[in-house]
Amino acid sequence: MAESKKILIAGGTGFIGKTLVHELRNAGHEVRILSRKSDSANVYIWNPAKKEMDITAFEGVQVLINLCGSGIADQRWTSERKKDLHESRVGTNALLFSMIEYMPTLEQFICASGINAYGFDIDDVQHPETDPFGTDFLSDLVKEWEKSADVFAVKCPVVKVRTAVVLGRKGGALTRMLPAIKLGIGSPLGKGTQIMPWIHVEDLVGIIIHAMNHHLEGAYNAVAQCDSNKTFMRTLAKQLKKPFFFPAVPAFVMRILFGEMADVLLQGTSASNQKIIQSGFVFRYHTLDAALNNVFTSFTTKDHSPS
């Protein structure tokens, strides 16, 4: 069993954070959470927008984890939204680093990052972590995000977890995909050939814990598999026993509906998971069928919606 640690998590009340907190506490770690409201023990108040922080949260902390970041595909990318995407990532890292003097016992900083680091591809080349950043908005955002994490290297090793589309019961991308599928009107987006890298939430949390237990450092792709958008949507419909015969949603319709953000849905990125595997990590869910089957196992045939 790994040594018990004192761990502080920013973003610990979100979809991924809740699963991570549960697993870490089950493993015997002391877990504290930074949140805008405190409604239970070991939850400390912070307000990144106002640069407010309860510094007692840092006492004795050995591992600091930042999972914060507004949803990339939640809203159209207005100039105000782009600012929020930046501040919720780069800004929270900067605020945490400004408190470094209160963390004399810090041994490791683990930060969420995005698989969009490499830009969009027209083929299925699988990017290793050594590949350069892309030149689009999302790639630039990830570059700045990781740069703001790397400042912690003056104090301790830094891990950047480049996260793919996360699949799970109680949140993530599936909550936005399910309504159309459940109505029997599921279809691929655009050409449908664009690559969708994905990971089950349990494997993502497993990678974070693996990185902590094995004292990893650097960037790691958190990707279980890469499938085409058409394959992903068809498999999802199959799991829900719904038809999948509607024509693809044209790209121009997607751009009318979502503006620049449509690029996330219409263009693909494929990334290699060999670095994390070579570090000794073993995925629980290697195939899309296995991952989705697990997600929906606990739901009745009548209602498959995550809650």
The pLDDT assigned to 294 comes to 93
Least confident of 64-78, 160-174, 191-205, 259-273: 259-273
Question: What is the crossing angle of helices 137-150 and 79-86, to 10°?
Answer: 30
d(CA 293, CA 195) in angstroms, rounded, equals 21
Report the pLDDT averaged over residues 5-10.
Answer: 98
The pLDDT assigned to 302 comes to 39
Q: Per the structure block, which two tokens stand in for 262?
A: 């449509």
Residue with tokens 């109505």: 183
Report the pLDDT averaged over residues 284-294.
Answer: 95
**Biggest alpha carbon distance in the chain?**
58
The pLDDT assigned to 300 comes to 41
pLDDT at 306 over 70: no
Q: Which residue has the higher pLDDT, 234 or 175?
A: 234
Question: Where do the domains of the chain lie?
Answer: 6-297
- Strand ranges (E), the chain: 6-10, 30-35, 43-47, 52-53, 63-66, 108-114, 158-163, 165-168, 171-172, 195-200, 218-222, 225-228
Q: Which CATH superfamily is domain 6-297 in?
A: NAD(P)-binding Rossmann-like Domain (3.40.50.720)
Sheet strands side by side (includes 6-10): 52-53, 43-47, 30-35, 6-10, 63-66, 108-114, 158-163, 218-222
Say what the pTM is. 0.91
pLDDT at 59 over 50: yes
Find, among 241, 232, 251, 66, the residue nearest to 165 by Cα. 232
b/e 42-76 (16+ beta carbons within 10 angstroms → b): ebbebebeeeebeeebbeebbbbbbbbbeeeeeee
Q: List, in sequence order, every residue forming a beta bridge with 249; answer none if it has no partner.
A: 189
Residues 67 and 20 sit within 8 Å (Cβ to Cβ): yes
The one-letter amino acid code at 303 reads D
Cα 173 vs. chain centroid, distance in angstroms?
10
Q: 266-284 pLDDT, tens per residue? A: 788 999 999 999 999 999 9
Residues 199 and 222 sit within 8 Å (Cβ to Cβ): yes
Residue with tokens 């994905």: 198
| Torsion sign, CA atoms 9, 13, 14, 16 | positive
